[in-house]
Amino acid sequence: MTGGERRQLTGIAGPTTERPPFSFSAATRVAFSDTDAQGIVYYGRYAPYFDMARVEYWRHLGFAAHDDVARGEFVMRAFEITYNAPAAFDDVLEVFCRVAKVGRTSIVFEFDVVLAGDGSDKHLASATQTMVNVDLDARRPEPIDDRVRALVDAFEAMG
């Protein structure tokens, strides 16, 4: 896909085979409010890009953003980001997302962000998020529902 074609994908999310082993991507454009005084994306603003891709991934699997009854109550356990290159105001970013591992009570998401608007596919950042399924009242981990596990496994196997 060329940079011009990707420019039209801003705000679009769905399955991809473009960047193995990633199975899903979501595109967004850098807002002015995401940038710092130097005109580049402030490092803390990458977290919402990863969160947006993860929410779109769940939505693609058929779960609404607040559909915790069906998919569980996932809370952040660990979040690691590596920065490689800056993004700037109005850049088009493609955030690639995949589930790397489904454990008994946790799920590990991996992400890559690339500059998509200019056709360079310049790698900007990578991240890993570990989410734990919890019973919020008991504040204890609980097993991931077999239906969720089956949907994730089937989707990831297609990639």
User: Mind telling me the catalytic residues?
Assistant: 36
Across 105-156, the runs of DSSP E, i.e. the strands, are 106-115, 123-135, 140-141
Length of the chain: 159
Sort 92 into a burial class: Cβ within 10 Å, 0-12 / 13-18 / 19+.
buried
List all residues 6 or more positions away from 140 whose beta carbon is below 8 Å from its beta carbon: 134
Alpha-carbon torsion angle 89, 31, 79, 99, nearest 10:
-100
Q: 3-class SS at 7? A: helix
Cis peptide before 86 (omega within 30 of 0): no
